[in-house]
Amino acid sequence: MNKASLKRTLLGASAALVAGCATAPDEATTRQIAEKMVKESFIASPAHAKRLVQDKSQQICSKIGDAKLTQAEAAEVVNLARASIKYPASGKLVGDWKIGDKLAHDGAGDRIRNGKLEKRKENGGLCQNCHGLAPGEINVGNVGPALTGWGMQRGNSEAIAKYTYEKIYNAWLYFPCSNMPRLGATGHLTPEQITHLVAFLIEPESPINKK
């Protein structure tokens, strides 16, 4: 074999190596590569960049594919959720259902475009995006279960008000890692806003509980 053809053979062999032998990187390598990408892929002020950093619960709740939570992980998410919940200063968990109705139908607030924060007095509750609300209401999503008749089915006792409040504040207390955002715990909604949503869900006069 002359020098040139040897070189060709070697080149061919290394090309085959490059072309045919890619293997799945292990989990730690993938995490490292992907997290580096997250750091480098967004144009953000330091304050906005914080949104990209996962808290402990988000890390646990980012299982890939069909991977399941372990019991210990689920327990940790529940504990973190319990510790996260703050109640309104007034101690009153049931606010004004009319304000709650408006909030439930408001999908705006806190989005960032070209580095600028969406100008809003307060954030919307986002409920309509994912949940059925009043009976016959058509423009509603179905990523979450319909909330139609929530209070009609459960009543409006103190216990139900507390359960409803906590469910909105941090849904992962009851369903660790569910799709539902932890609206109070992440700061998207204030405790007072959540009391209005509680009223919207449980008050008998609320359209959500009408037939």
Applying CB under 8 A, the residues found at the interface with other proteins are 18-25, 29-31, 33-34, 36-38, 40-44, 48-49, 51-54, 58, 61-65, 107, 110-115, 126, 128-130, 138-143, 179-182, 186-188
Query: What is the closest distance, in whole angstroms, from the C-beta atom of residue 136 to other proteins in the complex?
Result: 14
User: Checking phi first, is residue 26 left (phi over 0); if not, alpha (psi -120 to 50) or beta?
Assistant: beta
Q: How far apart are CA 158 and CA 160, in angstroms?
A: 5
In the complex, the smallest distance separating the C-beta of residue 145 from other proteins, rounded to whole angstroms, is: 12
Q: Which is nearer to other proteins, 145 or 155 (CB)?
A: 145
Compute the distance between CA of residue 71 and CA of residue 80 in angstroms, rounded to an integer: 14
> Shortest CA distance to 101 belongs to which of 199, 204, 191, 182?
199
| Nearest residue (CB) to other proteins, 110 versus 205 | 110
Q: Provide, rounded to whole angstroms, the least separation between the CB of residue 191 and other proteins.
A: 15
> Terminus-to-terminus CA distance in the chain, angstroms?
89
Minimum gap (Å) between residue 6 Cβ and other proteins = 23
Give min distance, CB of 90 to other proteins, in A: 24
- Compute the distance between CA of residue 200 and CA of residue 101 in angstroms, rounded to an integer: 6
Eight-class DSSP state of 116: E
Q: Which is nearer to other proteins, 117 or 159 (CB)?
A: 117
Instruction: Closer to other proteins by CB, 98 or 188: give it.
Output: 188
Tokens 């059925």: give the residue. Answer: 132
Q: Which residues contact 39 (CB under 8 A, 6 or more apart)?
A: 52
Nearer to other proteins, 118 or 205 (CB): 118
